[in-house]
Amino acid sequence: MELMKNKLTKYLDKKHYLRDEESLLNLEINEFLKLYPKAAEKEVSNNYSQIPRFFNPLPKEDDLMKQRLREEARALFLQKKNKELLSNEELESLRTLLEQNITRPIVGDDIMIDYKNFRKVGSLVGAKCKQFFSPSVFAKLYESDPDGRISINQFLGYVTKKFWLHQTRIGLSLYDGAGLGYLKESDLENYIFELIPTLPQLEILEKSFYSFYVCTAVRKFFFYLDPLRTGKVKITEILASGFLDQLIELRDEELSKEHLETNWFSAQSALRVYGQYLNLDEDHNGMLSKSELSRYGSGTLTDVFLDRVFQECVTYNGEMDYKSYLDFVLALENRSEPQALQYLFRILDIKQKDYLNPFDINYFFRAIQKQLKKYGHEAVCLRDIQDEIYDMVKPKDPFRITLVDLINSGLGETVTNILIDLNSFWSHENRESLVVEPSNGNATNGQENEQSDSNSNTDDTSDDSSSSFSK
């Protein structure tokens, strides 16, 4: 471009005898049009030759040399990253250095440090720790202390958590055969299988149960992190999900029984879920038919809903395997979660329109009406239920409820309960009669009988309270 400007200037100097300003302008335009295409072509050509290579395809399967070279390079890279992690001795040295530079006064058991001493310690630590002694880290941990200090224990916890994440990422990357930053189902299964011996809380599991435990644990990762069912999850999403934290906490031998029962990855939870599956499998063929699955929980899921489950989920000769059952359980036990609502929405969306309309609502609620009549209760008006659901969700389109509408409403669990489960619908319809009066702590009329019926029919295969509708 610069060359073109010089040529144009020289040409105009030669034509100085053209005193007319308009003539000079026309001459300049004509000369510019002659020179520009050449200059532009040359400039594009030069830029193209300078573009760096930004994609290197994976070596082909038959190119053993390149594959071996790539594996060795990845192994060396991960070893290098592993050496950058803090050892226990280095972490203790950091703690000692911080404790030697505390900022008084000391309030309670916590020791504090101000920004001046924080930066001082930062200048004394090794290269591995310097990244944590930045103004942004101090600001992140600052909690309005009147003396402008942060908690040393909080800071050490932050550092430990960061290094644990790096260490775990390196560990997961070892199972990433392709080196593309994600794990397939088999990769994650291998990782968890080799992790089992390091978790004391899983010592009660027999080795013959390991494969079922691994399947149960891995399913939660893929149910939540792979909603599109691509068969792979990113390592970064695994770390960000917090599921690994729940898994690793099983190293703590002092966890309470109540806490273990709520942890999906605990031995108690895995045995509970697998025990439910075996109890439902009446013919002991290792698979569940629709009639067997209908006994799940209190046994009040509608036939229409179960029909759709078997239409949408992966089945083998019309029966459900353990893996599909795990998805089913995760969805029904976590109905307020977006991933569970996505699972249920796919079943409720009969024609795969990506929205629910009055036809879908009426289609599923007719099954609830049918069950109400079966137990001798008065049927509820379809139009009333339809209006109630639309009032709860408040969709952008008054005639279409999308998955986003359902999630954003915060009442997705209530809506799905109304449409798929008689017990849940009955609890919703009679919620006011189940309220305890604050004045005397007694239930309103009819509550005691209903609660008695509910408690007498509790089934271990569901967290939902049962009612007199139980089979």
Percent of the chain whose pLDDT exceeds 90: 58
Q: What's residue 439's pLDDT? A: 45
15 pLDDT higher than 70: no
| 128-158 confidence digits (pLDDT tens) | 899 899 999 999 999 888 889 999 999 999 9
Q: What's residue 440's pLDDT? A: 47
Q: What's residue 446's pLDDT? A: 41
* Higher-pLDDT residue of 169, 144: 169
Alpha helices in 228-321 (DSSP H): 235-241, 243-248, 257-262, 267-280, 290-293, 303-312
Q: What's the average model confidence in pLDDT over 435-451? A: 45
Write phi, then psi, for 147 (nearest 5 degrees): -100, 10
CA distance 298 to 453: 12
Local structure of residue 280 (DSSP, 8 states): H
| CATH architecture group of domain 175-270 | Orthogonal Bundle (1.10)
* Higher-pLDDT residue of 246, 26: 246
Range in 13-17, 198-202, 399-403 with the lowest mean pLDDT: 13-17
313 pLDDT higher than 70: yes
359 pLDDT higher than 70: yes
Cross-strand partners of 107: 110
Residue spans of the domains in the chain: they are: 2-50, 66-168, 175-270, 281-456
Query: What dihedral do alpha carbons 278, 325, 332, 459 form, nearest 10°?
Result: -10
Percent of the chain whose pLDDT exceeds 70: 82
Q: What's residue 61's pLDDT? A: 79
Cross-strand partners of 184: 232
pLDDT band at 390 (very low <50, low <70, confident <90, very high): very high
Q: What's the average model confidence in pLDDT over 320-329? A: 96
Q: What's residue 75's pLDDT? A: 86
| 274-294 confidence digits (pLDDT tens) | 999 999 999 999 999 999 999
Tokens representing 364 are 């599923």
458 pLDDT higher than 50: no
Most confident of 52-56, 343-347, 379-383: 343-347
Full-model pTM: 0.76
Q: In terms of residues, how long is the chain?
A: 471
108 pLDDT higher than 80: no
Per the rule left: phi > 0, alpha: psi between -120 and 50, beta: everything else, 320 is beta
Range in 251-255, 361-365, 454-458 with the lowest mean pLDDT: 454-458
Q: What's the average model confidence in pLDDT over 10-14? A: 56
Q: What's residue 225's pLDDT? A: 96
Give the homologous superfamily in CATH for domain 281-456: EF-hand (1.10.238.10)
Give residues with Cβ within 8 angstroms of 60, minimum separation 6. 66
| 63-84 confidence digits (pLDDT tens) | 888 888 888 888 888 888 888 8
172 pLDDT higher than 80: yes
| 220-261 confidence digits (pLDDT tens) | 999 999 988 899 999 999 999 999 999 999 999 999 999 999
User: What are the DSSP calls for 320-384, one per residue?
Assistant: E-HHHHHHHHHHHHTTTSHHHHHHHHHHH-TT--SSB-HHHHHHHHHHHHHHHHHTTPPPPPHHH
